């Protein structure tokens, strides 16, 4: 796994999922998202318990494909797995990884707003909605809801805001301390934060919950949270 050193040098552009990010993405996300591996394991376990032959699972913003590949490797039912990402470099890595692990997963390079994933039973979007511009984010969630079969599930992990402004500042400061413990320098932390400004726009958990329900989901539960990171499951 190549180590993330992208933000050691002065910024040249805003954050984007290009070849440089793709090359270090697995290290970046494991060192940037608290309990990332444990949270993904929780998602894998829940999905496995839900799967039946004939189902279709779609991962929106599938990045390097790790989550779908792990589910596919452990799944004993005849299930179709599709990963969708609009970054060609991510899709290329995901395909190579799936081939190396012998996992039957299809990865496509396309915008989730353009790709037809209707007829899905489970849709996953880990740290994906936060990169969709707020004016069209609710449209994306509505598309997800309308694309799910009856009794479908939407699993969503997001960076979130606290309702209280004081608490939000403290959590961000604690989070930066977490990143320092993971080996990131003060320069790297600040430069990445600057690169993500106006690119990653988080909502509160309540704002996400309301958006899901307004899109047609009946129930929303939070299954994981560490500070300003949370995973929610929405039920049709």
CATH number of 19-161+201-235: 3.40.50.150
Long-range contacts of 137-146 (CB under 8 A, 24+ apart): 137/211, 138/211, 138/214, 138/215, 139/113, 140/112, 140/113, 141/211, 141/212, 141/215, 142/215, 142/216, 143/112, 143/113, 144/60, 144/215, 145/212, 145/215, 145/216, 145/217, 145/234, 145/236, 146/118, 146/216
Q: Give the predicted TM-score (pTM) of the model.
A: 0.89
Residue by residue, pLDDT tens for the chain (236 residues) are: 666 555 556 655 555 556 666 566 677 788 889 999 999 999 999 999 999 999 999 999 999 999 999 999 999 999 999 999 999 999 999 999 999 999 999 999 999 999 999 999 999 999 999 999 999 999 999 999 999 999 999 999 999 999 999 999 999 999 999 999 998 888 888 888 888 878 899 999 999 999 999 999 999 999 999 999 999 999 99
pLDDT value, residue 11:
55
pLDDT of residue 95: 96
Domain boundaries, the chain: 19-161+201-235
> Sign of torsion, CA 84 86 92 97?
negative
User: What pLDDT does residue 195 have?
Assistant: 81
User: β-pairing, 120-126 with 106-109?
Assistant: unpaired
Which pLDDT score is estimated for 26? 72
**What integer pLDDT is reported at residue 18 of this predicted model?**
61
């Amino acid at each position: 796994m190549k180590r993330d050193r992208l933000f050691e040098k002065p910024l040249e552009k805003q954050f984007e999922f290009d070849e440089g990010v793709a090359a270090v993405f697995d290290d970046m996300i494991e060192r940037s998202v608290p309990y990332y591996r444990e949270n993904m394991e929780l998602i894998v376990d829940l999905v496995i318990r839900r799967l039946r032959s004939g189902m279709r699972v779609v991962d929106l913003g599938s990045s390097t494909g790790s989550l779908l590949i792990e589910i596919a490797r452990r799944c004993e039912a005849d299930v179709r797995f599709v990963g969708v990402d609009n970054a060609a470099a991510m899709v290329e890595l995901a395909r190579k990884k799936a081939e190396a692990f012998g996992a039957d997963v299809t990865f496509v390079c396309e915008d989730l707003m353009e790709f037809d994933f209707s007829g899905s039973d489970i849709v996953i979007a880990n740290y994906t909605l936060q990169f969709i511009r707020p004016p069209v984010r609710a449209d994306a969630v509505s598309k997800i809801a309308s694309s799910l079969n009856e009794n479908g599930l939407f699993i969503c992990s997001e960076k979130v805001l606290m309702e209280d402004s004081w608490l939000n500042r403290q959590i961000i400061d604690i989070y930066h301390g977490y990143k320092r413990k993971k080996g990131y320098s003060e320069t790297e932390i600040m430069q990445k934060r600057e690169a993500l400004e106006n690119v990653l726009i988080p909502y509160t958990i309540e704002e996400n919950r309301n958006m899901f329900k307004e899109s047609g989901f009946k129930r929303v539960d939070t299954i994981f949270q560490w500070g300003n990171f949370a995973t929610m499951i929405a039920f049709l």
